[in-house]
């Protein structure tokens, strides 16, 4: 596979030619925000929601953004120029280059980077094994920033324990996984932890809640005690890159019957229909 194009500060450049200054604050301080948008059949899924979250995240760290329409057009152009149909576009915006100092930059020159790569949906979805991990992240997880070292360490801990992912637990309650939201099924009822400062408002999470309502599946947002994970009939994760993923074991204990359950299968089928549905007129720039 050839290396992707990179959108860098208003230009489309070859991957090997893309460079940022060594004192970019994204490198020095993880001073930046990001989004990942999936494209299906060449069309973005929930672009407006992604861009709205980008704006919220940037406001949360006092980061000025370029015009949002420019960002949208750049992401679309990356997919179109490379002839991609099913793709994931990674967008990152940092506060830009400045001499290293802990205070914010008075007049920042944000660095804007976007990369599009092919991303195919794998069906059937691979079953996942998870472990619970103590949540030692910062208190602004609701902002989608590039400060993801605790997430990376938790994912590595899970790998070393023979699992695929870690589920963060704080004060005895489930928060989210390392890069996705958590859903739990009890007797046909779908539950997901409510949004707090420790949980990112996942775009796919929102879609799942809407799909569940459309399928007639009772759904609620309420605190989930960690010990209830072992009593659940089903557990699954949701995320932009991972879509929906069934968890069949947690901390070495089987979830339900140890295989993807009926609620998960119904929602995955509904999700697959939703992402292939035609985007309404005007929802995508050209």
DSSP string, 105-171: PSS---EEEEEEEE-PPPSSPPPEEEEEEE----S-TTS-BS--HHHHHHHHHHHHTT-SEEEEEET
Q: Which of 43, 95, 144, 205 is catalytic?
A: 144
Catalytic residue list contains 144: yes
DSSP string, 76-101: HHHHHHTT-SSEEEEEEEE--B--S-
Q: By 3-state DSSP, what share of the chain in percent is helix, strand and coil, each rounded to 5?
A: 30, 30, 40
Nearest-angstrom CA–CA distance, 204 and 68: 21
What is the separation of C-alpha 87 from the centre of its chain, rounded to a whole number of angstroms? 14
Torsion sign over Cα 155, 160, 162, 168: negative
**Residue numbers annotated as active site:** 144
């Amino acid at each position: 596979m050839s290396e992707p194009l990179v959108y860098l500060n208003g230009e489309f450049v070859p991957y090997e030619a893309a460079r940022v200054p060594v004192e970019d604050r994204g490198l020095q301080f993880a001073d930046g925000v990001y989004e990942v948008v999936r494209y299906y059949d060449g069309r973005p899924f929930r672009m407006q929601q992604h861009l709205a979250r980008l704006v919220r995240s940037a406001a949360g760290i006092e980061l000025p953004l370029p015009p949002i329409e420019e960002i949208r057009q750049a992401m679309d152009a990356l997919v179109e120029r490379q002839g991609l149909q099913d793709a994931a576009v990674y967008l990152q915006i940092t506060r830009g280059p400045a001499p290293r100092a802990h205070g914010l930059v008075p007049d920042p020159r944000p660095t804007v980077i976007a990369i599009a790569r092919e991303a195919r949906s794998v069906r059937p979805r691979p079953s996942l094994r998870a472990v619970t991990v103590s949540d030692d992240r910062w208190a602004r997880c609701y902002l989608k920033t590039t400060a993801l070292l605790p997430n990376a360490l938790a994912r590595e801990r899970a790998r070393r324990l023979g699992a695929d992912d870690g589920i963060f637990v704080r004060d005895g309650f489930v928060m989210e996984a390392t890069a996705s939201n958590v859903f739990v099924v009890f007797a046909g009822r779908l539950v997901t932890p409510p949004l707090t400062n420790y949980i990112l408002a996942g775009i796919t999470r929102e879609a799942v809640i809407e799909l569940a309502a459309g399928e007639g599946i009772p759904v609620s947002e309420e605190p989930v005690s960690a010990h209830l994970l072992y009593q659940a009939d089903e557990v699954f994760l949701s995320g932009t890159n991972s879509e929906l993923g069934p968890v069949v074991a947690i901390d070495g204990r089987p979830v339900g019957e140890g295989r993807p359950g009926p609620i998960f299968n119904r929602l995955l089928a509904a999700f697959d229909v939703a992402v292939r549905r035609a985007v309404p007129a005007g929802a995508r720039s050209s």
